[in-house]
Chains A and B, each alone.
Chain A
Amino acid sequence: MGERNPQTATGSNTDLVGLYRQMRRVRTFEERVGELFVRGLSAGSMLHLSIGEESAAVGVCAAMKDGDTFTTHHRGHGIFLARGADPDRMMAEIGGKETGYCRGKGGSMHIADMGLGHLGANAIVGGGIPAVVGAALVAQQRKTGAVSIAFFGDGAMQQGILYESMNMAALWDLPAVFVCINNQYGMGTRIDQATRATALHERAVAFGLNGETVDGLDVVAVRDAAERIVDAARGGTPGFLAIDCYRFFGHARKDKSPYRDADEEEAGRRKDPVAFARAALVEAGQDEAELDAIDAAAAAEMDATIDFAARSEEPPLSSMFHDVFAVGEPEPEPLAVRIDRVLARN
């Protein structure tokens, strides 16, 4: 771990610059999410940062096409951003603001955008996985050529719904992909404290899917593996990809990771896909000033997201009763109105 693999880090510099830019944007966005929390502008502390996992988001999204759909877990900011989300609207949603993707009702863990095929982030471990089977079923029946991808963490590897879903996807030859971002921890429990079977892709293979594990240190390797798995799924062979990485920080913002020691964290944080890509580019002759410019542009872009979120309004209280059911359906009667009505009658 932590060493470069010249076999996979080579290839087109232009490609790698693009991947680097996306990973830097994700990293910087997540850093600003942390800042939003520290400044008291986030809605709550249920904020799960994907720092250390940028190659998974960026590498897999590089293998996706227009029309593809996906669901994510609770640590999905990077995936959504890499798929093309507007970071301003993301940050506003994380702040619980009206200008956010879900008008402040979803937040970090329930962000979604049908326009980009994001069928929703999920706060139930494994909860978003079977929707991908349904979306893939529709893609197959309508012959749209789309793939549907479920992103989840290693925690979901111990949830039954994953196996039900992979089994159906294989049984029906669906264009579905299951991506496990293995950051080694389900909250405070390390993967080897949760299962004896840590070669995760073998489970998918046992169900009849294509399965691979790739080192998340190298975004090019992740992208290449994702292309193999996603392309095969598009052709009717569903797949599974485990991406090994390390969760740099705690489970959520208030978690100081007391369950792991400093040496382990230090070693884990050396497995940095952003730094690795940068070093590979420099070694390949990339002008560092250009990389600095990319970093600066990401910083400016993401700084602006905090300003946008801070400037945005909270949703109006009346919106509480919207969207329980479809527009045009009667809305729930507010409690205060109900109480007054009942007491006035009796």
Chain B
Amino acid sequence: MAELTYRDALKKALHDAMTEDEDVFVIGEEVGRYGGAYGVTKGLIDEFGAERLRDTPISEPAIVGTAIGAAMAGMRPVAELMYVDFIGMTMDQLCNQAAKIRYMFGGQIGVPMVLRTQGGTGRSAGAQHSQSLEAWVMHTPGLRLVMPGTVYDAYHLLRQALRQPDPVVFIEHKALYAISEEIDLDVPPPDWGRAVVRRTGSDLVIVTYSRQVHHALQAADALAGQGIEATVIDLRTLNPLDFGTIRDAVEPIGRVMVVSEGPLTAGVAAELSARITEECFDFLHDPVIRVAGEDVPISVSTALETASVPTPDLIAETARKMLV
């Protein structure tokens, strides 16, 4: 058992992967000497050197493109995109190249790279540094998508991502870096692609991922005091998507809320809601309710920022309305 932060778990995952496999290297802006904008790679350059913690110019498309070429040439790059908001710069390389190379080339070769980045609100970082853009990635066949919500998952999902044969987009949450857990990393992780039930309750199922797992659990604790028991599912990976765990929880209960920090319209919550509605229709007592980001850009004002994405209060209040 050890007390570890989400940030340190990520660093340890990179450290352990680089120690085990000399083909793993990190490439991106400020990953070496600076140690990463959020400190995840701090100190790794001292142990692994500047070739394996490769600082780059501010050239996001070429960072991703270089990682693609290196992956095709046999290495296992971890490209770091400082903010997921910059993914727009890289969409061609990510979605037209990395995601499609295996398919377009008839299965000749894959692109085993990890694109590490972070997103979400919580730091008053404004409209271009606070977004939740996972739906853009989830909408593209050929990309894996990982969004760890816990310290344990930060470590093990990154280790698992670095063993995948296909490109993985790994989105951390900026508000989680400092959380810490007393964990035993030697406990074997769930299989790649499996969701985890974080809490069980018989009145309602809350399906979520990343930081909203914590909000949902806080809401569930508050609801428990009022006699409402919620099941909380942490999806952990959005591609692969473990629908079996969702179905198993939803069918006996028949009441579902999907929580996502991304904007409501055409978002991850929309996809989950549609799937649950299609596949579990006869079991549902109510419509699947989406609690998602408002369809607005994120403001720098802390008040507006906080109010534009799901909060524990909003989740609890919504649950109460559903159970009236």
Contacts and interface: CB of A to CB of B under 8 A. Distances in A.
Given A131-B97, A326-B110, A168 B102 contact: no
13 contacts: A102-B106, A130-B93, A132-B69, A133-B69, A134-B69, A134-B73, A137-B70, A138-B75, A161-B92, A171-B57, A326-B166, A332-B141, A346-B278
Given A134-B67, A325-B142, A346 B282 contact: yes
A130 B104 contact: no
B31 to A, nearest CB: 14
A128 B100 CA distance: 13
A346 B281 contact: yes
B102 A164 contact: no
A134 B70 contact: yes
Contacts of A130: 61-62, 64-66, 68-69, 93
B104 A134 contact: no
B317 interface: no
A248 B72 CA distance: 34
Nearest to B112: A326
B106 A345 contact: no
Contacts of B109: 112, 114
B107 interface: yes
A298 interface: no
Contacts of B105: 101-102, 105-106, 110, 112, 114, 120
Interface string A317-346: 000001111110110100000000010011
B104 A131 contact: no
Contacts of A104: 106
A35 interface: no
A102 B107 CA distance: 8
Contacts of A326: 102, 110, 165-166
Nearest to A136: B69
A127 B103 contact: no
B65 A325 contact: no
A110 B61 contact: no
Contacts of B75: 138, 141
A106 B73 contact: no
Contacts of B312: none
Contacts of B110: 326
Nearest to B72: A119
Interface in B32-82: 51, 56-57, 59, 61-62, 64-75, 77
A120 to B, nearest CB: 6
B65 to A, nearest CB: 2
Nearest to B62: A164
Interface string A71-111: 00000000000000000000000000000111111100010
Interface in B189-246: 240
A141 B49 CA distance: 13
B52 to A, nearest CB: 9
Contacts of A138: 69-70, 73-75
Given A124-B92, A127-B93, A135-B72, A323 B103 contact: yes
Given A164-B57, A329-B166, A332-B141, A131 B72 contact: yes
Interface residues of A, number: 50
Contacts of B301: none
A139 interface: yes
Q: Closest 10 A-B residue pairs measured CB to CB?
A: A134-B69, A130-B65, A131-B69, A164-B62, A102-B106, A134-B70, A326-B165, A164-B59, A103-B106, A138-B73
- Interface core residue of B56, B66, B107, B144 (most chain A CB under 10 Å): B66
Interface of B: 51, 56-57, 59, 61-62, 64-75, 77, 92-93, 96-97, 100-110, 141-142, 144, 165-166, 240, 278-279, 281-282
A122 B97 CA distance: 9
B72 A323 contact: no
B279 A342 contact: yes
Interface in A265-310: none
Contacts of A15: none
For B51, B71, B105, B279, the residue with the greatest tally of chain A CB atoms inside 10 Å of its CB is B105
Q: Which of A114, A141, A171 has the most CB of B within 10 A?
A: A141
Contacts of A113: 108
Contacts of A133: 62, 65-66, 69
Nearest to B141: A324
A168 B69 contact: no
A26 interface: no
A168 B56 contact: yes
Contacts of A161: 61-62, 65, 92-93
A160 interface: yes
A329 B167 CA distance: 13
B166 A325 contact: yes
Nearest to B104: A110
Contact of B68 (A69, A131, A139, A168): A131
Given A105-B106, A323-B107, A165 B65 contact: yes
Given A164-B57, A167-B62, A326-B165, 17 more contacts: A102-B104, A105-B104, A105-B106, A106-B104, A110-B100, A122-B97, A131-B97, A132-B69, A135-B70, A135-B72, A136-B69, A138-B73, A165-B62, A323-B102, A323-B106, A324-B102, A325-B142
Contacts of A128: 97
Contacts of A50: none
Contacts of A164: 57, 59, 61-62
A229 interface: no
Contacts of B107: 103, 322-323, 327
B212 to A, nearest CB: 26
A230 B150 CA distance: 49
A346 B279 CA distance: 7
B65 A345 contact: no
A157 interface: no
A22 interface: no
Interface in A35-75: 69
Contacts of B93: 127, 130, 161
A134 B68 contact: yes
Given A130-B64, A323-B107, A324-B142, A137 B102 contact: no
